[in-house]
Chains A and B, each alone.
Chain A
Amino acid sequence: MHGFANPKRFLSFARPLTPWLLALGLALAGGALFWGLTRVPAERLQGETVRILFLHVPAAWLGMAGWMTIAGASLAEIVWRHPLAAIAGRAAAVPGAFFTALCLVTGSLWGRPAWGTWWEWDGRLTSMLVLLFLYLGYIALSQATAREGASSRIPAIFGLFGVINVPVIHFSVTWWYSIHQPPSFSLGKSAMATAFQVPLLASTMGFTCLFAAVVLMRMRALLAETQAEARLRRRAREADGDAGQLREAGA
């Protein structure tokens, strides 16, 4: 992992990987959503609303995967002082927050016709809303520490504490009574028909590629901003030094 600590080495793989991930993600997610909207049959109990599954499940997975990325980056920052870890954590926060919000909105749009309600304060929905607030807190904290020049270990500690919520989200439907259905997939077993499984898998892979591409693009942007500021500061110092030498020569 420390091999990628060098920004030059990171850019040498991030630059070619970004367009490939974008193209693959757009093709897979676009194809799966079109398939899900037009080709998949209506489900026996849920009818046409089951088509929201192809957006809702990848969004839920990426909301949780985004925080796991932040937690992994936070651990790398605190334990190994990996120089790109803080950038990776900051880069994953905005797409993670977006997919968490998308999961809540699509879930609400699914819940109204399926359950007869937009929102219910049950374990799964509430823990997902808590995850969105954790993201917003992490984004505010990391921006404030970057702006004030404070230690990036402060948001890293917050990122590690926040990971407690991820297993709570996952097990909420088994720990507490919930109107949300239990997981359709468990290790080696599936309660879902193949007609739904294939487009769901394609959609999840496609959105995961898009998430990875967005994280890489945001890492490149944050890295470039840091490098630009360092260069401008160095040039300003050099200009000050030249002006001082001219003044001494004039005197």
Chain B
Amino acid sequence: MRETLDPWPFVIAAYAIGVIGTLVLVGWSWLAMRRAERRRDGAGR
């Protein structure tokens, strides 16, 4: 017989990983872009 598991810890874990992971990806990409563009502008024309 299969055990019945409380589904909420699995749902909350999936949402936490998805939301935090996506925000980290977006933030990291934004910071990398700003840093690279500042370096390019600092290197002059």
**Contact across chains for B10 and A218 when beta carbons are under 8 A apart:** no
Q: In the complex, A98 Cα to B20 Cα: how many Å?
A: 12
Q: Type the 1/0 row for B1-33, where 1 means its CB is closer than 8 Å to any CB of A.
A: 011011110110111011101100110011011
Chain A residues near B30 (CB-CB < 8 A): 217
A25 to chain B, nearest CB (A): 8
The dominant DSSP class at the B interface is: helix
- Nearest-CB residue, chain B, relative to A103: B18
Q: In the complex, A15 Cα to B18 Cα: how many Å?
A: 27
- Contact of A157 with B by CB under 8 A: no
- Nearest-CB residue, chain B, relative to A115: B2
**Contact across chains for B29 and A217 when beta carbons are under 8 A apart:** yes
**Contact across chains for B17 and A106 when beta carbons are under 8 A apart:** yes
A223 to chain B, nearest CB (A): 8
Interface size class of A (residues with CB under 8 A): 35 or more
Task: Select B26's contact among A52, A214, A231, beta carbons within 8 Å.
Answer: A214
Chain A residues near B6 (CB-CB < 8 A): 113
- Contact of A16 with B by CB under 8 A: no
The dominant DSSP class at the A interface is: helix
**Contact across chains for A55 and B15 when beta carbons are under 8 A apart:** yes
**Contact across chains for B18 and A49 when beta carbons are under 8 A apart:** no
Q: In the complex, A203 Cα to B36 Cα: how many Å?
A: 31
Task: Select A51's contact among B11, B17, B21, beta carbons within 8 Å.
Answer: B11
Chain B residues near A140 (CB-CB < 8 A): none
**Contact across chains for A48 and B25 when beta carbons are under 8 A apart:** no
- Contact of A129 with B by CB under 8 A: no
- Given A22-B26, A231-B44, are A52 and B37 neighbors across the interface (CB < 8 Å)? no
Task: Select A221's contact among B17, B18, B21, B36, beta carbons within 8 Å.
Answer: B36
A56 to chain B, nearest CB (A): 7
Q: In the complex, A47 Cα to B32 Cα: how many Å?
A: 41
- Contact of A109 with B by CB under 8 A: yes
**Contact across chains for B45 and A55 when beta carbons are under 8 A apart:** no
**Contact across chains for A213 and B26 when beta carbons are under 8 A apart:** yes
- Contact of A102 with B by CB under 8 A: yes
Q: Which of A51, A105, A113, A116 has the most CB of B within 10 A?
A: A113
Q: In the complex, A99 Cα to B6 Cα: how many Å?
A: 26
Q: In the complex, A42 Cα to B11 Cα: how many Å?
A: 12
- Given A105-B17, A224-B37, are A52 and B10 neighbors across the interface (CB < 8 Å)? yes
**Contact across chains for A59 and B18 when beta carbons are under 8 A apart:** yes
Name 6 A/B residue pairs within 8 A (Cβ), A-sorted. Answer: A49-B7, A95-B29, A113-B6, A207-B22, A210-B26, A235-B44
Interface of A toward B, CB cutoff 8 Å: 22, 29, 33, 37, 47-49, 51-52, 55-56, 59, 94-95, 98, 102, 105-106, 109-110, 112-113, 116, 207, 210, 213-214, 217-218, 220-222, 224-225, 227-228, 231-232, 235
